[in-house]
Structure 1
Amino acid sequence: MPRGSKDKYTDKQKRKAEHIEESYEAKGVSKDEAESRAWATVNKQSGGGERTGGSGQKTSAGEKQAARKSSARRAAATRKGVPRPGQKVDGMTKTELMERARKRNIPGRSKMRKSELIEALRKGA
């Protein structure tokens, strides 16, 4: 059975949940289980209640822009094979090391062991 108030849901979301619930009941699912599945489906598709209010923290436009810029920089650095701050080569898996070696075009990487990859990456850095 679904928990909590459904006040934060739009009329469209409520109709959708009702329709899904009826569909499950037609398939022989119990009333409580059908209602639970219906609200779970609505939540998964739309992220929950969409009406404003509640305890959601609001982020300013400036903070959002700064976060996007920072995220874009980290993503670009990752594509270039640059380690993230605090990420050590010793703590990486062999797959991660191999990917980094591939990005740096280290010759013979496919035949290297993990320790050899670490050494080659340190030399190339």
Structure 2
Amino acid sequence: MPQQSWNSKRERQYEHIKSSQQDRGASESRAEEIAARTVNKNRARSGESRSASKTSLRDKSPQQRGGERSGKRLGPGGPTKDQLYNEAKKRNIKGRSSMTKKELASALGR
């Protein structure tokens, strides 16, 4: 899904990001979306696009940010006790019902 206005460097960057996201388990459509957004933001930051939002220009680059806002962490204190308990249940960890949040996290290897 590379766009016509992208140069060969941006097309390579798009393909690299897309394949990396797919290796991490993202669906093809999600990987394409992430790759396109990243390339377009980089184009805006480097002045290759006609227009750019203030956040694209003032914010960190996607590479520098490194997934800070990717949503992988569940809330400010990580996953809740219920979320940890459900994961422990899926993994069939014994004694999970009497464990504290910290013990559940430890049993799950977090």
The TM-score bracket by the shorter chain reads: 0.3 to 0.5
More helix by percentage: 1
Q: Greater Rg, structure 1 or structure 2?
A: 1
The answer to which structure, 1 or 2, has the higher relative contact order (CA under 8 A, 6+ apart) is: 1
Normalised to the residue count of structure 2, the TM-score between the two structures is 0.39
TM-score (norm: length of structure 1): 0.35
